[in-house]
Amino acid sequence: MIFRCLSMNVQFEEEFIETREQYEKLQKEGLLLFGQVPMVEIDGMVLTQTRAILSYLAAKYDSYGKDLKETVRINMYADGTLDLMMMIALAAFKPPEEKEENLTLIVKKAKTRYFPVFEKILNDRGEDFLVGNKFSWADIQLLEVILMVEELDASVLADFPLLKAFEARISNIPTIRKFLQPGSPRKLEAAPR
């Protein structure tokens, strides 16, 4: 979400839920449709559900393909990366004795199920971006998950040269580069270890 806004140079305020009270306040105010975060206030609306929020932002900021066929591919790629991200997020809630093993499995899954798909897409299409040779939600989503998995295993892209180049390319888009630099408004959540 944050990445998405930043890549389009959209200003936003980011707030993490750090206490039970903060979460309960949102609940009491009736802002959380299913009692869950993330939640985004935008254009006079209160939105929840990650995929719904991200697809709204993608459509609003012209990063959702030029036609339905591009859009459905963007959805497939973004959904795949979101599944992988969700595994990482949920690892934080595993009992400590299971956590390390779970994270190892996630890295393995990234290497065997998810990253080969994106390496092949980049190879087959020979383009700089995943869909339509134009920056889209799928690209930012993939960069985000690459960075997340690299926090677990810095060498995870060793066998994926096109993904490594993709990571460098997308990270170097000026607004994204600025966002990733230390001292930017980026707030890092603790890695799930």
Ligand X SMILES: N[C@@H](CCC(=O)N[C@@H](CS)C(=O)NCC(=O)O)C(=O)O
Where does this chain bind ligand X (CB under 6 A)?
35-38, 49-50, 89
> 46: left (phi > 0), else alpha (psi -120 to 50), else beta?
beta
Query: Whose Cβ is closer to ligand X: residue 36's or residue 123's?
Result: 36
Tokens of 26: 């949102």
**Cβ of residue 179: shortest distance to ligand X, in angstroms?**
21
Query: Whose Cβ is closer to ligand X: residue 168's or residue 191's?
Result: 191
Tokens of 9: 């140079």
Of the candidates 147, 152, 141, 51, the residue with the CA atom closest to the CA atom of residue 106: 152
**Cβ of residue 152: shortest distance to ligand X, in angstroms?**
18
Query: Whose Cβ is closer to ligand X: residue 35's or residue 96's?
Result: 35
Query: Whose Cβ is closer to ligand X: residue 86's or residue 165's?
Result: 86
**Cβ of residue 135: shortest distance to ligand X, in angstroms?**
23
**Cβ of residue 32: shortest distance to ligand X, in angstroms?**
7
Residue nearest to ligand X (CB): 36
Alpha carbons 108 and 168: distance in angstroms, whole number: 22
Query: Whose Cβ is closer to ligand X: residue 38's or residue 116's?
Result: 38
> How many C-beta neighbours within 10 Å does residue 161 have?
12
Alpha carbons 99 and 157: distance in angstroms, whole number: 22
**Cβ of residue 79: shortest distance to ligand X, in angstroms?**
11
**Cβ of residue 176: shortest distance to ligand X, in angstroms?**
23
Tokens of 149: 């998995």
Q: Is the preceding omega at residue 38 within 30 degrees of 0, hence cis?
A: yes
Query: Whose Cβ is closer to ligand X: residue 83's or residue 159's?
Result: 83
Q: Where are the alpha helices (DSSP H) in the chain?
A: 2-7, 20-28, 50-60, 68-91, 96-109, 115-125, 137-152, 161-171, 174-180
